[in-house]
Structure 1
Amino acid sequence: MATWAWILIVIIALVGGVALGFFLARQYMMKYLKENPPINEQMIRVMMAQMGRKPSEKQVRQMMAQMNKLQSK
């Protein structure tokens, strides 16, 4: 087989591997986020309670707004 054929096979295999890896990683992350959702209001309340604070609803909403703002960047 000619050298150019081997180079073509390697390039095709590389592109296929990158595409397959991307889609497998994407599926894994979607499954992970479904099983372990990001921080929600209940988690913020528990964190603040562990720090010895009793948060008001306003404080919880402010922290959620900050978290959403940081995630959107």
Structure 2
Amino acid sequence: MIVVALVAGLVIGFFASRKYMESYLQKNPPINEQMLKSLMIQMGQKPSQKKLRQMMNAMKTTYDK
């Protein structure tokens, strides 16, 4: 009985934490436009607003999958 309860708790905990992390990452993406701009400057590229939007949209579609 204890083993069954432990396994059920682990399974429920895993799926609950996975759902929480997915919703957290959708609300707070790990990279924003300002961070992307600074990365491009560090790489020696001159970031244009169009290029920044394209890269953000590409990352957003990757997160949605």
- With over 3 angstroms needed to count, the CA separation of the structure-2 counterparts of 1:37 and 1:65, relative to structure 1, is closer
Would you say 1:13 and 2:33 are equivalent positions?
no
Structure 2: 5+ residue stretches without partners? none
Residues 30-60 of structure 1: per-residue CA shift (max 9 Å, x gap):
8x85xx8511000110010001111110000
Q: TM-score, normalised by structure 1?
A: 0.62
- Counterpart residue type for residue 33 of structure 2: E
Q: TM-score, normalised by structure 2?
A: 0.69
- Which has the greater radius of gyration? 1
Structure 1: 5+ residue stretches without partners? 1-7
Q: Which gives a bigger RCO, structure 1 or 2 (Cα 8 Å, sep 6+)?
A: 2
Which of 56, 61, 65 aligns to 2:57? It is 65
- Counterpart residue type for residue 2 of structure 2: I
**Partner secondary structure for residue 46 of structure 2:** coil
What's the CA shift for 1:16?
2.5
Residues 13-37 of structure 1: per-residue CA shift (max 9 Å, x gap):
32134334554x45x848x85xx85
Of all paired residues, the percent bearing the same amino acid is 52
Q: Paired residues, what number?
A: 62
